Amino acid sequence: MPSAHHGAQPASRRRSHRAIALALAVLALLAIAPAATAADTTTLSPDQVSPEAYYLRLLNCSRTGGYVNADGSCTGYGSGRYSSYVRPITFNWGLTRNVARPYAKLLATKGKCDHFLNGDPGDRMRRAGYHPSWWGENIGCRDGSTNVYSSILASHRAFQAEKPSNGGHWRNIKNSKFQFVGVGIYRYGSRVRLVVDLYRPA
């Protein structure tokens, strides 16, 4: 049965003011989408954009108070209608190329779903030259699928489904402290891994 693991704690071993919000998904149950109308629903076709850009749109839909539907459309983008409004997060190519993508590849090729396969997310950011005051990471792991876009969507819908319980993935999505995100996506055979590294500079 699909499961999700998450945790949040201060990084007291490094700095007391550094918050760590870790979330790991090996996919949870998908939420039921609310009713949408043509007037307040936007659709981003996967074949129009890269996987990273597609995921950024899903992330910012939920972040700004919209709702990601089962078909990948967003109801109420930027409205604060389904959750409190948090400003959209900015995509960072450096985090993507140097932190999130290499880790997604490592997870996919090894068949793992773990935040600590190569140090913790903060370690990986620092090794790449970033100096976070706050960081967080969401990981989505799908096995038995070769469709990257549907895997990305399923992972995000699982994160979104944590809203009622305020789970770790959801807290990362809605954390206003994060300013930048790197998105790593890698398919290896029938395994797809999504790594979302959230960052605020010191």
**SS3 (DSSP) at 104:** helix
CA–CA separation, 151 vs 142, rounded Å? Answer: 6
What's the mean pLDDT in 170-193? 98
What's the mean pLDDT in 115-124? 96
Q: Model confidence over 28-41: pLDDT tens digits?
A: 222 223 333 333 45
Strand partners, 5: 24
Q: Does residue 18 contact residue 66 with C-beta atoms inside 8 Å?
A: no
Reported pTM: 0.81
Level-2 CATH architecture, domain 3-201:
3-Layer(aba) Sandwich (3.40)
In the chain, where the domains are located? 3-201
